[in-house]
Amino acid sequence: MFLPKFFYGWKIVAAGIGIATMASTFFVYGFSAFFIPWRNEFGWSRGLLGGVVGLSRLEGGLVAPISGYLVDKYGPRKIMYFGVGLMGIGFILLRWVQSLSALYLVFLLFLAMGSSFGTGRPLQVAVANWFIKKRGRAMGFLMSGYGLGGSIVFIFAMLIDNLGWKTATVIAGLCMWGIGFPLISILRHKPEQMGLLPDGAQVNKTNDTISKFEKKNMNFPKPPAHFWNKDSREELELNVWQALRTRAFWMLAIVYAIFSGVPGITTVHLAPFLAEELGLEYVVAVGALSLFVFTSVGGRILFGIVADYVNLQILVALLFCVLSFSIFLFSTISNLSQIPLYVCAFGLAYGGVIPLRAVIQGYFFGRKSFGTIGGLLQFVDLPATVAAPIWIGFLADSLPGGYRIGFKAIAFIIIFAAIAVLFARCPQEPLPNDKPPKFIAKFFK
C-alpha cells in the first residue's frame, strides 16, 4: 500500500515545539519561578522586578525589526544558533547575580537579546513559510510549546525550591545548549529550498508545475460564501513598504500594542497575585500559573485549527472579548475554589489569541517579508510591553487591592483590540507602492 511521504514542515513544527518549550520553562514563565525567591533573599520590590521583564521586552521590541530582517535574509538557523547560545551564557551568568543592576544587565544583554534572535520570531517565520492553508494549525501546535513550557514551570519551581535558584540557572543554561542546538539543526527556511511547496503540495515532475489535483485545492481567487467563512483567495505577497501603506498594518499595530501588556502581567504577576491575595504557598501559586498555561495549550491548538476554517478577523475579535471578560473574572478571585474555573477561562482565551497573531499577519501580508513585518509590529508593542508589568507592580506596592485594580483596567482596554481587528481590511490588487518614501530613499543614497 502506498503511504504518502511525511511532509518536512511538520518536522520543523516539532523542533520548534521543543525549543519553545525550553524557552518558556526557563525564561518566559520561568521568571515567575524566580520572582518569590529573589524577593525573599534580596528584598527587591515587585515594581523593580517587574521592570526587569519590562525592559527586557523593551529591548526585544527594539531588536525585533532587526532580527526579523536577518531571519528573512539569512534564514532562521544561523540566527537561532547565535540567540540560543546567548541564552545559555545568560542563564549560567545568572548564577552569580547578587545585585539588581547585575540582574538587569544579564537579562538585557544575554537573555532578552538571545530570546529575540533564538526563539519566537525565527520559529514563526519558518513555520509561516512552510504552511499557508494549514498555517493556523501549524502555528497553533508551534505556540503550544510555549504553553507546555509554562505548564511544567511548577517542576522548575520545585527544582529551585530543592536545589536553590543558583543551581537551577546553570541547569537551564546547559539545557538550552544541549537540547536547543540539535533541534535548531532541523530547521529550514523555505520549502522551495528543498524542492517542496507549502503545505506539502505536490509538484508535477514532468513540467515542474503544480498538478491538477493540487491546483484544484490551492488558494485561487474565490470569495467566501458567508461572512463567517474563511477567505480562501490566493495569499498576496507584500514587502515592508507595501504593508506600511495598508490600513491592515496599522489596525494590527493597535491590536498588538494593546495585547502586549497581557503576557507581561501573567508571566510576572499571576503567581505573586494569587500568593499574596489568597495566602498560597510559593509552589502552589506557581502551580496555578502552570494550570493557566496548560489550559492555554488547549486554546492554542483548538483555535489554531479553527482558524483554518473560519473568518480570521471575527474569530480574533471574539477571542479578545472572551479574554477581556475572563481577566475581569480573574481579578475578582476571593477563595481557593474559584482558581480552577477562573484561571482556566483566562488561559483558554489567552491561548487562543497567541497563535492567531502570526496567522492573521500572514493572511494580510503573506510570506515574503514575514519576519521583518512581524518585527515592526512587535516594535509597536513597546509602550504596553514595558509599562504593563511595571505599572501592575507599582499598583500592588502602592495601593490596597492594587493587583485587582490593574487587572480590571487591562480587561477594559482589551475591548478596543477587538474593535481594531474588525476595522482591518485584507489588501487587494492593485497593491500599494513597493518603494520606500522619497525622503528615505534619498537618505540611503
Using one digit for the tens of pLDDT, what is the confidence trace for 302-318?
Answer: 999 999 999 999 999 99
Instruction: Tell whether omega for the bond before 340 is within 30 degrees of 0, i.e. cis.
Output: no
- pLDDT value of position 324: 94
Using one digit for the tens of pLDDT, what is the confidence trace for 385-405?
Answer: 777 777 888 888 888 888 899
Residues 6+ apart with CB under 8 A from 171: 159, 163
Residue 211 domain-assigned (yes or no): no
Average pLDDT of every residue of the chain = 85
Of 51-60, 282-291, 338-347, where does mean pLDDT reach its minimum?
51-60
- pLDDT value of position 439: 59
Residue type, 415: I
Whether the per-residue pLDDT at 247 is higher than 70: the answer is yes
Q: Are 303 and 352 in contact (CB under 8 A)?
A: yes
Residue 208 domain-assigned (yes or no): no
Residue 274 domain-assigned (yes or no): yes
Specify the pTM. 0.82
Q: For residue 386, what is its C-alpha cell?
A: 514595558
Whether the per-residue pLDDT at 2 is higher than 70: the answer is no
Task: Please count the structural domains in the chain.
Answer: 1
Split at pLDDT 50, 70, 90, the class of 3 is: very low
The proportion of the chain whose per-residue pLDDT surpasses 90, expressed as a percent, equals 47
Using one digit for the tens of pLDDT, what is the confidence trace for 182-239?
Answer: 999 999 999 998 888 998 887 655 444 444 444 444 444 455 555 556 777 778 899 9
Split at pLDDT 50, 70, 90, the class of 15 is: very high
Residue 210 domain-assigned (yes or no): no
Whether the per-residue pLDDT at 19 is higher than 60: the answer is yes
Closest among 249, 279, 325, 296 to 151, alpha carbons compared = 296
Q: For residue 399, what is its C-alpha cell?
A: 495601593
Q: For residue 112, what is its C-alpha cell?
A: 532578552
Split at pLDDT 50, 70, 90, the class of 293 is: confident
CATH number of the CATH domain containing 395: 1.20.1250.20
Which is more confident, 378 or 231?
378
Structural domain that includes position 155: 8-193+218-443
Which is more confident, 205 or 378?
378
Residue 37 domain-assigned (yes or no): yes
Q: For residue 434, what is its C-alpha cell?
A: 513597493
Q: Are 380 and 243 in contact (CB under 8 A)?
A: no
Residue 1 domain-assigned (yes or no): no
Q: Are 392 and 265 in contact (CB under 8 A)?
A: yes
Residue 183 domain-assigned (yes or no): yes
Q: For residue 108, what is its C-alpha cell?
A: 538585557
Using one digit for the tens of pLDDT, what is the confidence trace for 36-69?
Answer: 788 888 888 877 887 787 677 777 777 888 899 9
Residue type, 228: W
- pLDDT value of position 398: 86
The proportion of the chain whose per-residue pLDDT surpasses 70, expressed as a percent, equals 90
- pLDDT value of position 203: 61
- pLDDT value of position 221: 47
- pLDDT value of position 220: 43
Split at pLDDT 50, 70, 90, the class of 142 is: very high
- pLDDT value of position 118: 92
Whether the per-residue pLDDT at 1 is higher than 50: the answer is no
Kindly give the residue spans of alpha helices, DSSP state H, lying in 43-193: 46-74, 76-94, 100-106, 113-118, 120-130, 135-151, 153-163, 165-184
Closest among 339, 264, 346 to 49, alpha carbons compared = 264
Whether the per-residue pLDDT at 138 is higher than 90: the answer is yes
Q: Are 119 and 22 in contact (CB under 8 A)?
A: no
Residue 112 domain-assigned (yes or no): yes
Split at pLDDT 50, 70, 90, the class of 285 is: confident
Using one digit for the tens of pLDDT, what is the confidence trace for 75-122?
Answer: 999 999 999 999 999 999 999 999 989 999 998 889 989 998 998 889
